[in-house]
Amino acid sequence: MTVSLESSTADIISEKLKMAIFGTWADKSDKRLRQYYNKLLKLERGNAITLADYTLSYRQYNPGLAETALATYGLYLVRFTQKVNKPFGDMTLDDLLGYLETLKKPDSDKWRETWNLFLVIITRFFKWFYYPNIPDGERPKPAVVAGLKKAKPKGGKRKKVFGPKDLWDEEDNEIFFK
C-alpha cells in the first residue's frame, strides 16, 4: 500500500486541527466546535494551520474558556479569513476595515456590538500572530490593527438600561424576601 505525500500531509493537518479545536477534553459532539473544525478544513492550508496554532495557544493561556466561546471566536476568524481571502501576513488595515464595513446594517443598531466583538477578537489574534513569543498582556498592537476604532452607540452616548426607578427600595425587598 502506498500513501501519497499529499494525503499524508492532509491527514496530519486534519489531526492538528482536531487537537486544536477539540483537544483531549472537549465535547466532540459540540455543534459549534464541529462547525469551526469543518470550516477550518475548507480554508487555505496556511491560514488553517495558523488558526489551529492560535486556538491551541488560546486554550493554553485561557484554561477556563468555555467551548462555545472558543468556537465563536474561531468562527469569527474563519468568516473574516474567507472574506478577505489572503494569507494573514499579507492582510492590511484596509482589508480589516473593508470587512468591518460589511458588518454594518443600516436598518439596525446591533451591528455595533458585532463590530466591537470582532475588534477584540481580531486585535487579540493579530497581537498573537505578530508577537507569539511575548506574554499575552505585554504584546503591542501591530500596525494592521492599530487604526481600528470601536463603533460608538447611535447618538454617541450609551443608553442607560436601568434608571433610579428600577432599583428596589426597602418595601420591594420586604415583599421579595417574605
pLDDT in tens, 109-130: 788 888 999 999 999 999 999 9
The angle subtended at Cα 143 by Cα 154 and Cα 88, nearest 5°, is 95
Q: Angle, to 10 degrees, between the axis of helix 67-84 and the axis of helix 111-130?
A: 90
Has residue 175 been placed in a domain? Answer: no
Q: What mean pLDDT value characterizes the chain?
A: 80
Please name the helix (run of DSSP H) or strand (run of DSSP E) that holds residue 64, with its range, or none.
none
* The pLDDT value given to residue 155: 62
Per the structure, the complete domain to which residue 80 belongs is given by: 5-154
Has residue 85 been placed in a domain? Answer: yes
Give the Cβ contact number of residue 52 at 10 Å: 23
Has residue 62 been placed in a domain? Answer: yes
Q: How many residues does the chain have?
A: 178
Q: How confident is the model at residue 81 (pLDDT cuts 50, 70, 90)?
A: very high
What does the block give as the cell for 105? 446594517
- Cβ-proximal residues to 112 (8 Å cutoff; 6+ apart), any chain: 151, 152, 153, 154
Share of residues in the chain with pLDDT > 90 (%): 28
Has residue 165 been placed in a domain? Answer: no
Count of structural domains, the chain: 1
Q: What is the mean pLDDT of residues 20-32?
A: 63
Give the position of cell 480554508. 43
DSSP state of 33: H
Has residue 166 been placed in a domain? Answer: no
Has residue 164 been placed in a domain? Answer: no
* The pLDDT value given to residue 34: 79
Identity at 119, one-letter amino acid code: L
CA quadruple 22, 23, 27, 32: dihedral sign: negative
